[in-house]
Amino acid sequence: MPSHALPLRHLLLALAVVAIWGTNFVVIKLAFAHLPPLLFGALRFTFAALPIIFFLPRPAVPWRNLAAYGLLIGVGQFGLMFIAMNGHISPGLASLVIQTQVFFTIFLSMRISHERVRPRQWLALALATLGIGVIAAHTSGVDGDASTITGLFLVLIAAACWAAGNMVNKQAGRVNMVAYVVWSSLFAAPPLFILSLMFEGWPAISMGLQEADAGTWAAVLWQTVGNSLFGYAVWGWLLGRYPAATVTPMALLVPVFGMAASGWWLGESMPAWKLIAMALVMGGLAINLWRRGG
């Protein structure tokens, strides 16, 4: 029988994952000093697939499922989020807004699976919507954050793509998530390379690769090994060992790590409105998680 409490070593392991996922937004921003965003995304998914794909068997799901997941997560979620983070929204806010994928997932589940939305979920959605409204009201780029309505809109679309990817993943059934991510990356990298060539151009790609230093490649490695492979492997292992209601609330700490890391490393300011927005969005997420665990 699985335990319903995380022992200290597994609690620390879960904290390590959410810390990696949270600080990853700062790592992304630092990589843009040399690499254009779409090229960075293409490299991320290339190294998520190669050479690991030769050591993991393909999940027993249709190719179209892997392709849909790869396109939605690779191009939709990360491609759009990377573009937004390249001067349109701060890493801290991006780490917070992208969590609205939870509510997009609820909406899609309601439309596709005809799941009933409970009163607590409506309250959770209302709180998160208020939080997003607070952010939208402060997208003038003051405080040196360079956050714009375009950046907010792009991250919200990225969150919707993440939610759609969740639906595709749900259709795949119980699979090895590491293998699933690795094989689906085959369908994310090529279109990102093509889009990079079309919109960023070969001169920017060539210059980015030439100027990329050890720190830039460390950021790519952080994305692939830390964020994708280690993160998904450990999170999946914890979910297999403990009830979801015990593990999933830890994900609430992702934007906490994201905003704290952005403030520390990048000097992102944390005015009162930003803290209020974070409290509203995370309050909505918490209410939704408590409902699931009840």
pTM: 0.87
User: What does the longest C-alpha to C-alpha distance in the chain come to?
Assistant: 58
DSSP string of 122-184, one letter each residue: HHHHHHHHHHHHHHHTT-S-GGGT---HHHHHHHHHHHHHHHHHHHHHHHH-S--HHHHHHHH
Contacts of 8 (CB under 8 A, 6+ apart): none
CB neighbours of 147 closer than 8 A, spacing ≥ 6?
88, 89, 90, 93, 135, 138, 139, 141
Helical (H) or strand (E) element with 53:
none
* pLDDT for residue 4: 60
Using CA of residue 233, residue 47, residue 37, residue 193, what is the dihedral sign? Answer: negative
With beta carbons less than 8 A apart as the criterion, state whether 131 and 277 touch: yes
The DSSP code for 63 is H
- The alpha carbon of residue 169 and the mean position of all alpha carbons in its chain are separated, in whole angstroms, by 15
Helix (H) or strand (E) holding 79, with range, is none
pLDDT value at residue 206? 95
How far lies 142's CA from each of 72, 129, 147, 268, 279, in Å? 32, 22, 8, 11, 20
Give the phi and the psi of residue 223 in degrees, each rounded to 5.
-65, -45
List the Cα angle 22/24/30 in 5-degree steps. Answer: 135
* Residue ranges in the chain whose pLDDT is less than 70: 1-5, 113-115, 117, 140-146, 244-245, 248, 289, 291-294
Question: How far is Cα 283 from Cα 292, in angstroms, rounded to an integer?
Answer: 14
Neighbouring C-beta atoms of residue 201, cutoff 10 Å: 12
Check residue 294 and give its pLDDT: 40
Coil vs helix vs strand at 115: coil
CB within 8 A of 17, min separation 6: which ones? 230, 231, 234, 235, 250
The three-class DSSP label of residue 185 is helix
Return the pLDDT at 244: 63
State the Cα–Cα distance between residues 82 and 162, nearest whole angstrom: 14
What's the pLDDT score for residue 140?
A: 63
